[in-house]
Amino acid sequence: MRGRIIWAAPLGLALGLIAAPAMAQDTDAQTAALLKTPSIPGQNLNGMKVYIRGGLKTHFRGQHDYPQFVADWSKILTEHGAVVDGSLHAPSAQELEGVDVLVIYKGDAGYMTPAEKAALDAFVKRGGGIVSIHDALCGPDPEQFASYVGGAKKHGEINFTLDVPVTYTITQPDHPIMKGMSNLTLFDEAFYRMTWAKDAKINVLATTVIADVPVARQGGGAGQTVPQIWTYEHTVPGGKPARAFAWMQGHLYENVVNYQIQNMLLRAIAWAGHRPVEELVDYKDAIPGPGVQEHTAPARPADRK
């Protein structure tokens, strides 16, 4: 009996040593599963990262509704597979970490503190993309902001039309960003007297003839053909290739959610982020992860008489 006890101890120890690695592997797998980012219905956690820079609303009702843009487009982009963050202030360097594209819909974004400019400079230097909407490209130093997005205009000058019909002439209908875009007319605002980037030329996608209205005659732009939609590619010395896209309308918020404009912006954001142009437009809902049941949206109850 005593001999059995003496031999049983080493045998049990050996079996324990054999089982230990398997137990450790199981524990590691369980820990990894607990630390893994959970699958969230309706969100693609592996999508491109987009930061929306808005601001407080200005102008009249239905115009320059920057907060509404942040609200609407954070949902639109999420539904199209992007990972979205945003604010009503200029993003800090920390907020831009890991961001692929900065979308700016906020007037006079050219006004920056030294810290804000440093954050934007670093973002562009590492190849970050920018999508500029309406008067985001306005500020005190148009030459400086043009170096980010290809073109800019000076605040305080008469370089606008106010509310007029803006008819596009699509100059590159075969460009992938312009897929489905027609020579439509938007009731909006157009800009002229632009300052263009010196280091690289813009690639014009659409122009308009500036309406012959009093403010345009006063500013000297009436009758001129001026780019309103373009792309811009450049490389900061010591940096990576960066892309920018500019759309100079959006004075009236209803045009920001126009079907053609929405798809153009989705393609432009993907393009600016060095992604396939159709990535956001063609995105289908991600497959739910383990333990997440797939549901369809509940049916809307019939209206009661």
Which residue range(s) make up the domain with 249?
49-156+194-207+226-272
Q: What is the pLDDT of residue 81?
A: 96
Q: What is the pLDDT of residue 48?
A: 96
Report yes or no on 177 lying in a domain. no
Q: Which helix (H) or strand (E) holds 2?
A: helix 2-35
C-alpha separations of 192 from 13, 79, 200, 207, 212 in Å: 84, 35, 19, 11, 13
Q: Inform me whether the pLDDT recorded for 40 exceeds 80.
A: no
Q: What is the pLDDT of residue 281?
A: 96
In this prediction, residue 284 has a pLDDT band, given cuts at 50, 70 and 90, of confident
- Over range 13-40, report the average pLDDT: 56
- Over range 152-177, report the average pLDDT: 97
Taking Cα atoms as reference points, which of 109, 108, 214 lies closest to residue 161? 214
DSSP sequence for 192-215: -S-EE-SSS--EEEEEEEPP--HH
Cα 207 off chain centre by: 23
Instruction: Count the domains in the chain.
Output: 1
In this prediction, residue 3 has a pLDDT band, given cuts at 50, 70 and 90, of very low
Per residue in 80-134, pLDDT tens? 999 999 999 999 999 999 999 999 999 999 999 999 999 999 999 999 999 999 9
In this prediction, residue 303 has a pLDDT band, given cuts at 50, 70 and 90, of very low
Q: What is the CATH number of the domain that holds 125?
A: 3.40.50.880
Total residue length of the chain? 305
Q: Which residues of 239-278 are buried (b: 16+ CB within 10 A; e: fewer)?
A: eeebbbbbbbbbbbbebbebebbbbbbbbbbbbbbbbebe
Report yes or no on 97 lying in a domain. yes
Report yes or no on 124 lying in a domain. yes
Rounded distance between C-alpha atoms, residue 276 and residue 273, angstroms: 9
Q: Inform me whether the pLDDT recorded for 295 exceeds 80.
A: no
- Over range 50-66, report the average pLDDT: 94
In sequence order, what E strands does the chain have? Answer: 49-53, 83-87, 101-104, 129-133, 138-139, 151-154, 164-167, 169-170, 185-188, 195-196, 203-209, 225-235, 241-247
Structure tokens at 217: 């005659």
Report yes or no on 108 lying in a domain. yes
Report yes or no on 122 lying in a domain. yes
